[in-house]
Structure 1
Amino acid sequence: MQRRRLRVWLVICMVGIMVLVARLAQIQLISTESFSKYGINLLEGSVSQRTQEMVIDNGRGNFLDRSGKPLIYERIPVLILFPFLNYLEWPVEEVASAIGVSEREILESIEGADGPIAFGNPEPYLLSEREMTAINELKIPGVFAVERKYPLSNTQAEQLIGITGENSKLLEERYGEKEFSARTLVGLSGLEESFDEFLVGEGKSKLVYHVDGIGSPLFGINVKYSEPANPFYPINIKTTIDKDLQERAENLVDKHQIENGGLVLLDIESNNILAMVSRPHLNRKNPFGDLGVENQMLKQHIPGSVFKTVVAAAAIDHGLTLPSRTFNCNENIYGKEDPNFQHGELNFTQSFAKSCNRTFADLAKELKAKDAKIIEDYAAKLSLTGSVGWTGTVFHTEKFRQLPDEDFGRVFKNEEARDDNNYVALSAIGQHEVRVTPLAIANMMATIARGGGKQMVRAVESVEYQNGSKVFGFDENKLPGDSISPFTAQKLQKLLREVVVDEEGTGRWFKELPYSVAGKSGTAETGIMKDEKQNHNKWFAGYFPYENPKYALVTVNLGVHSDEGGINPLFADMVKEVYTFDQEN
């Protein structure tokens, strides 16, 4: 009986030892870089216990504006101090003298520190070039003057640029064949996502020293500087954004209390995005928990009367806009008395300026009688139904998209709607199933201002090495497909200008601006009720100066009541800001 018990205990002990050996093998040999369901890197953890380090650069690439100003990170010259200085005699008075602070301030900054610090935290003390040279010439162990990369406190174009995060599964999916730390940042949205292959870190630059169990130097007080072997990295993405214009746009959108919406400003000649603002603000603590991570300027929305520009183009080309023809603008699209608008008999030009619904409903039905796909064809000619962001071949990627978050627009959702006169009438005034993005509307205005030529919209000019040399440049590309003729574009230009100069035009508020404006308003019912009132999308889209077009601008306020949230003041103020910017530059 005793022998049997001994054998049982022996078996249990052997099994236990084997389990322990297997566990140790897993920890020490097998799962060293991805331990447990959380993917913990045990090698990194072991090293971190034996070292203290100060990361100088996280290794991920940066975004620049069109003149080279940083948009995400900036390099700040700072004083780095290591905590082992607390146990040494060192010439603190010389460092204090070099930067013009008291010895006490320096000593107090590292007192009780459990790792290296940047002097002046939380706001680091900025060193001059002379101060950096003076400190480094002292050659004091544990004292360094370096340029450290910090995130900008006031990030611009946050949804356009996007966010990053640690995601080991996504990292493996994208770069399975490459060796990256599991904590490497990857792009999750916006340009951070589309340009991730260029931006992903080659490794951190850091100051490191080794410590024992109580934090004392293990191999003396030598601090090593570690950096990636390739001096050309990290990469910079040079965007088309103008930081000054972007900042002015951000301030104006907030000033006018746009909670859901924003604006797009394009350079007409290059078709580059100069500024793009989306609200609500991005919540970096919970980016995917609300709408903040979505770039509303790239999402499809109901456009309202802005879409009448498409119907106008088709009507011009198909001979439906005779000067002698008039429309009863006391009636709605169904031929009944309109309780809100009594414009009387209007010709085509007056109808566009005053945004008469009846006129464009009638024209759309006449166009449908000729060809049910005419309106969709013209929406495509004005680039409202496809992608307008830059697309092309970049190295091994054939269909590289600068703006992967961009929605496609549409006019009709199905054949039934296309063949129904009531749905056609609603679609003509930008209602029912019509959906477009603010970027596409801005591009439509730029296309008309250029005389009909369609171009892809660029958000990025080039990818550059650290020394400024170009890795890849994004040329100006034409959008595929048919476009409107110069004659039609000229007619539309005059119509858009009439919206502003007509005494009762929907854009008459813009008469006195420093730049002459042409454009179109839009107010769309969303079908969503709030506080027992119908919500609306409010738009104004246009270009300026009218005589010599340079800028296309779209402003939009989404989901507001009809008697609040007007968008005209934002459009007007942005035109003024652009004018001031041009005078200053």
Structure 2
Amino acid sequence: MVKKDVPSILTRLLKNKEESRYARMISAAIVLLLILGARLFFMQVIEGSYYKEEADGNRIRHLPMQATRGVMYDRNGIIMAGSRSAYSVIMPVNRKGNTLSDEALNRLSALLKVPTADIKKKIEDNKLAFGAIYLANDVGIDVATQIEEKKDEFPGIEIEVNPLRVYPYSNAGAQVLGYVGEAGPDDKDAEGNPYTTATLIGRAGLERQYNAYLEGKNGSKTVEVNASGQPVRYVGGTPAISGNSVRLTLDANLQKAAEDAMEAQVNELAHSGVMPTGASAIAVDPNSGAILAMASWPSYDPNRFSKGISSKDWNEIINNKNHPMQNRTIASSYPPGSLFKVVTGATALEAKAVTPEERIFDSGKHWIVDKRNAQGEAFGWINFYEALAKSDNVYFYELGRRVGIDKISHMAEEFGLGKPTGIDLEGEADGNVASEAYKKKVFEQDWYLGETMDAAIGQSFNLTTPIQMAMVYAAIANGGYKYQPYLVSRIDNLDGTPQKIFSPNKLGTLPISQSTLDTIHTGLRMVMTKEGTGGQLFEHYPISIAGKSGTAETNGLDNGWFVAYAPFDKPEVVVLCMFEHSGFGSDSAAPVVKKIMDAYFHLGDYAPGKQKANQDKDKKGGKE
């Protein structure tokens, strides 16, 4: 009986073993399912937003949309700074790293004609950029077409259309308008937020001064991409908002005339063996302070900066010893020379130290200190009007001796010298007014009579900017009112209505009598007659005109100044020009002033019929 039960016992044991194995397998499966369920719960519920973002990051891309900068118009509605559409080569930001294969990098380098090292640096510098890295701006249609048609050869590279800043007049007004450049990591917008990559912001001039109005607000667009990273559909985004337009006081045609006149005069002087190192010109409305033209030579083309200036172009500009980026009209200080004589004359007339008719004997040198006229002239007995017309140094040496340096310094400050004019541009220089206190402070030395005489003719420690001297003569021309010069008259909303209007700002009046003003006016009118220093060019000028020449001693060849205002009875415009190291102002600067006056009053080469003929000639390439 025992033997019969052995197989059944083995069968039961075997069956129990099988059931135990199944139970373990089921338990293991349950444990695995629990683990998978927990993992799924963790991924979909607890970390769901993270993994959704990761998935969207591979499927959805957010690309920045550049705002179009506001337009800068001249006083007549002519565009002086605007924007146009341009193709940009971009590399959308990839969560797995912004890299290109060496093969794709080399192909792109050859196509763009940019060293691979430069492209790598651009990627590295912008690896944390939002949306996309801009590798090149304003590429040609041929480059854009090749990249679009050969996507497999340029993986991860796309073409975008963005606004590009343009300056239709190239270098005309460059130091005034300024230029734009890509925002850096430390730059912030008007709301204090960092800029998106490749955003163009104002870096100099009016572009910088009014950047908060001009820049607009960038937007973004959201696109869905396929497995290859190519866009398949537009999902949504935020539209970019264009910047505000700015209306300038400048006259584009007058600005161009000033630039052309200086360039032509530089060439004329060069032919005679004179090589000026710089020049500036300014035209201002004396009845408001509105700047009609402001030019510096040499200049540069701000269009170079809009699409990213090359190292070659940048080095060419910054290594130019004549500093083309410097706005000489506001930032460079020079001895004003004989243009300062109106200050000395006003001081003496107001102090009753001289009368307009009193004659002072000029033997060619002063009788106390051996100081002479510029070319050794001796004008004999001479009164105020004749002395101003002939720019007689000996006469004004004597006026300086009679009134003393303190009174001259005080009058210079009343005219606005020794401090910025307050124009709406950065970088304006203070200049300097010669005084006993200045010499004592800086050099710890005593003041001498000879220095008073030098100061009286605009030398010594006197330093002025061209804009300061232009505003001195503007105050004389308008009857004694001092205005703050300005360049922007209005800022517009996007619909063209005014957002902000800038009105003339009257700073005060000159502390001189009407009789003193009339005396100075008469003397300045005589400058432009046959016997005056400006008569050679202006004796027969068809518009009644007044002005003053100036020549200031420097290290090397003298600086030349010339200023004029017209019409004499009711002045509308003051024009001033200054040439560095160019000799007498009546020879170097006066021809530029005349051409700018011609342009303003539509005379000579700028007469309507003559101007049209010149334009037609230019269109034909200069052929008759």
Question: TM-score surpassing 0.5?
Answer: yes
Confirm or deny that 1:431 pairs with 2:459.
yes
Change (3 A) 1:48 1:524: farther
The Cα shift of 1:360 comes to 0.9
Q: How far apart, CA to CA, are the structure 2 residues paired with 1:273 and 1:107?
A: 40
Change (3 A) 1:388 1:356: same
Corresponding residue to 2:253 among 235, 244, 247? 244
Confirm or deny that 1:158 pairs with 2:174.
yes
- Once superposed, which parts of structure 1, at least 4 consecutive aligned residues long, lie more than 4 Å away? 46-55, 106-111, 146-150, 206-216, 222-226, 287-290, 336-339, 561-565, 581-585
Change (3 A) 1:108 1:240: closer
- Aligned residue for 1:394? none
The Cα shift of 1:364 comes to 0.9
Corresponding residue to 1:185 among 189, 200, 204? 200
Q: Deviations over 1:104-142 (max 9, x none)?
A: xx99786423499xxxxxxxxxxxxxxxxxxxxxxxxx9
The Cα shift of 1:377 comes to 1.7
Corresponding residue to 2:568 among 546, 555, 558? 546
- Aligned residue for 1:275? 293
- Aligned residue for 1:536? 558
Which stretch shows the higher mean deviation, 483-492 or 546-555?
Answer: 483-492
Corresponding residue to 1:296 among 324, 328, 341? 328
The Cα shift of 1:51 comes to 7.1
Corresponding residue to 2:592 among 570, 578, 584? 570
- Aligned residue for 1:27? none
The Cα shift of 1:506 comes to 4.3
- Aligned residue for 2:71? 62
The Cα shift of 1:181 comes to 2.0
Change (3 A) 1:455 1:292: same
Q: How far apart, CA to CA, are the structure 2 residues paired with 1:341 and 1:550?
A: 37
Change (3 A) 1:404 1:507: farther
Q: How far apart, CA to CA, are the structure 1 residues paired with 2:141 and 2:463?
A: 62
Q: Please tell me whether the aligned partners of residues 382 and 484 of structure 1 are also in contact (alpha carbons under 8 angstroms).
A: no
Change (3 A) 1:523 1:115: farther
Q: Please tell me whether the aligned partners of residues 290 and 485 of structure 2 are also in contact (alpha carbons under 8 angstroms).
A: yes
Aligned length: 463
Corresponding residue to 2:384 among 348, 352, 360? 348
TM-score when normalising by structure 1: 0.69
Q: Deviations over 1:506-527 (max 9, x none)?
A: 4442112232221111111112
Which stretch shows the higher mean deviation, 418-427 or 270-279?
Answer: 418-427
Change (3 A) 1:215 1:564: farther
Q: Please tell me whether the aligned partners of residues 540 and 554 of structure 1 are also in contact (alpha carbons under 8 angstroms).
A: yes
The Cα shift of 1:493 comes to 0.9
Corresponding residue to 1:441 among 457, 460, 469? 469
For the residue of structure 2 that corresponds to 1:274, the secondary structure is strand
Change (3 A) 1:53 1:245: farther
Correspondence 1:356-505 to 2 at 5 A: 356-368=392-404, 372-390=405-423, 402-412=424-434, 414-416=438-440, 419-480=447-508, 483-505=511-533
For the residue of structure 2 that corresponds to 1:525, the secondary structure is strand
- Matched to 2:569, the amino acid is E
Change (3 A) 1:332 1:181: farther
Q: Deviations over 1:315-372 (max 9, x none)?
A: 111123331322315116833665823233122221111111111111112111xxx4
The Cα shift of 1:451 comes to 0.6
Change (3 A) 1:428 1:418: farther
In the alignment, structure 1 segments of 5+ residues that lack a partner are 1-42, 83-105, 117-141, 391-401, 528-533
- Matched to 2:176, the amino acid is L
Q: Please tell me whether the aligned partners of residues 183 and 195 of structure 2 are also in contact (alpha carbons under 8 angstroms).
A: no
For the residue of structure 1 that corresponds to 2:580, the secondary structure is strand
Correspondence 1:264-343 to 2 at 5 A: 264-282=282-300, 285-286=313-314, 290=320, 291-299=323-331, 300-322=333-355, 323-331=357-365, 334-335=369-370, 340-343=375-378
The Cα shift of 1:52 comes to 11
The Cα shift of 1:163 comes to 2.6
Q: Please tell me whether the aligned partners of residues 373 and 394 of structure 2 are also in contact (alpha carbons under 8 angstroms).
A: no
Q: How far apart, CA to CA, are the structure 2 residues paired with 1:340 and 1:143?
A: 67
Q: Please tell me whether the aligned partners of residues 190 and 405 of structure 1 are also in contact (alpha carbons under 8 angstroms).
A: no
Q: How far apart, CA to CA, are the structure 1 residues paired with 2:58 and 2:414?
A: 59
The Cα shift of 1:460 comes to 0.8
The Cα shift of 1:438 comes to 0.8
Q: How far apart, CA to CA, are the structure 2 residues paired with 1:213 and 1:537?
A: 69
Q: How far apart, CA to CA, are the structure 2 residues paired with 1:564 and 1:505?
A: 7
- Aligned residue for 1:32? none
Change (3 A) 1:329 1:515: farther
The Cα shift of 1:580 comes to 0.7
Change (3 A) 1:58 1:151: farther
Change (3 A) 1:192 1:150: closer
- Aligned residue for 2:38? none
- Matched to 1:197, the amino acid is A
Q: Please tell me whether the aligned partners of residues 484 and 505 of structure 2 are also in contact (alpha carbons under 8 angstroms).
A: yes
Q: How far apart, CA to CA, are the structure 2 residues paired with 1:109 and 1:386?
A: 52
- Matched to 2:375, the amino acid is N
Q: How far apart, CA to CA, are the structure 2 residues paired with 1:389 and 1:191?
A: 14
Q: How far apart, CA to CA, are the structure 1 residues paired with 2:59 and 2:174?
A: 35
Change (3 A) 1:278 1:52: farther
TM-score when normalising by structure 2: 0.65
Q: How far apart, CA to CA, are the structure 1 residues paired with 2:363 and 2:594?
A: 28
For the residue of structure 2 that corresponds to 1:294, the secondary structure is coil
The Cα shift of 1:264 comes to 0.2
Change (3 A) 1:481 1:552: closer
- Aligned CA-pair RMSD: 3.9
The Cα shift of 1:241 comes to 0.6
Correspondence 1:28-177 to 2 at 5 A: 58-75=67-84, 111-114=145-148, 150-155=165-170, 156-168=172-184, 170-172=186-188, 177=192
Q: Please tell me whether the aligned partners of residues 148 and 159 of structure 2 are also in contact (alpha carbons under 8 angstroms).
A: no
For the residue of structure 2 that corresponds to 1:455, the secondary structure is strand
Change (3 A) 1:329 1:147: farther
Change (3 A) 1:453 1:431: same
Change (3 A) 1:213 1:496: farther
For the residue of structure 1 that corresponds to 2:329, the secondary structure is helix
For the residue of structure 2 that corresponds to 1:305, the secondary structure is helix
Q: Deviations over 1:372-405 (max 9, x none)?
A: 4211221122222222234xxxxxxxxxxx1222
For the residue of structure 2 that corresponds to 1:536, the secondary structure is strand
